[in-house]
Each structure stands twice: as structure tokens, then as C-alpha cells.
């Protein structure tokens, strides 16, 4: 394990000598991730990007990219752009990255099933803001807003997310 690794367990996360409460998928951790299963995939995942809402927060890191109106994430297993960021209008099934709630104000992208996605293996695993303490995700990892921002300001593209 590297010092720059963010280690996530069902009991919380560790990063740079600090501990953080977090939540994972409603079905816990799995070795057999599938689209829509509600589980968080066990393993070592690279951090490949950072997205943020510039209308709601300052840029958290030099390498963060703004989420624009019309930015979506494809979770359509029948589409060539499955598990990729796409733009509206988009004919396939996709999730809006520019949400009315604050969940995706800051997103850390992992390399789960990316950049060459296997259809049905599960779309993006994000690190994002939680709804509330203890409320599970659909498979992502979620943190308190202030903790997520602290982590984002210190992560780099060489950091890894280790889900144990």
C-alpha cells in the first residue's frame, strides 16, 4: 500500500493519517460487480479524474474539470458510450452529472470498468458527497462534503482507492 492510497472499508476510510466516515453501496462490497447491483467493487482502483460544479464551489484542485449543463454519464449497456461521460441530448440511458441536489457537486472518478468498459460489469464508481450519514449509495463511495473536499485537495492522479 502507498501513503497516497485512500483505503475504504464498510467501517470508514483512511487517508493521509486521518480517518473519515463514509458510506458504500447498499449491498456492501463485492468481488462480482454487475450493473445495477447496488454493490461497491472490492479492489484497487486508480483515480482518473475530478469533476466539480463551478457554480457551487471553487475549483478544488488544478486538475479538476467543471461539470457543465448537459454533462451526463452513460449507464446504457447497449450503447457504444457505456460508462463514459456524454453530453445531452443523448439517446441512451444516462445519469445527469449536474444534479439539483449536492451529491455530485464534487466527483472523483475511479477507473472501475474504464476506459474499456465490459458491458454489464457496472458503470462508474465515483467518490461523491453523501445524502446523509449511514445512507448507502448505488455502489459508489460517499463522504461528508467537507471531508470529500479535504481528500480531493490532496489526491493526485497517482493516488489509488483501495476498497477492502
Domain ranges of the chain: 6-163
Closest CA to 24 of 129, 138, 124, 113: 138
Confidence label for 1 from pLDDT (cuts 50, 70 and 90)? confident
Give the Cα separation of 137 and 145 in Å (integer).
15
Dihedral sign, CA of 151, 152, 158, 161?
positive
Residue range 43-53, pLDDT digits in tens: 999 999 999 99
Q: What pTM value is reported for the model?
A: 0.95
Give the Cα separation of 86 and 94 in Å (integer).
8
Q: Which CATH number fits domain 6-163: 3.30.70.360, 1.10.1200.10, 1.10.8.870, 2.40.440.10?
A: 2.40.440.10
Give the Cα separation of 45 and 16 in Å (integer).
17
Residue range 85-95, pLDDT digits in tens: 999 999 999 99
Amino acid at each position: 500500500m502507498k501513503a497516497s492510497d485512500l483505503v475504504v472499508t464498510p467501517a470508514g476510510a483512511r487517508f493521509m493519517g486521518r480517518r473519515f466516515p463514509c458510506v458504500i453501496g447498499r449491498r456492501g462490497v463485492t468481488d462480482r460487480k454487475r450493473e445495477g447491483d447496488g454493490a461497491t467493487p472490492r479492489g484497487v482502483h486508480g483515480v482518473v479524474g475530478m469533476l466539480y460544479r463551478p457554480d457551487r464551489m471553487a475549483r478544488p484542485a488544478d486538475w479538476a474539470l467543471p461539470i457543465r449543463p448537459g454533462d451526463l454519464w452513460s449507464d446504457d449497456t447497449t450503447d457504444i458510450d457505456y460508462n463514459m461521460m456524454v453530453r445531452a441530448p443523448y439517446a441512451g440511458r444516462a445519469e445527469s452529472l449536474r444534479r439539483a441536489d449536492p451529491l455530485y457537486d464534487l466527483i472523483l472518478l475511479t477507473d472501475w470498468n474504464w476506459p474499456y468498459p465490459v458491458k454489464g460489469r457496472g458503470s462508474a464508481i465515483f467518490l461523491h458527497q453523501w445524502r446523509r450519514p449511514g445512507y448507502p449509495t448505488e455502489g459508489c463511495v460517499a463522504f461528508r462534503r467537507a471531508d470529500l473536499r479535504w481528500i480531493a485537495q490532496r489526491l493526485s492522479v497517482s493516488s489509488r482507492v483501495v476498497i477492502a
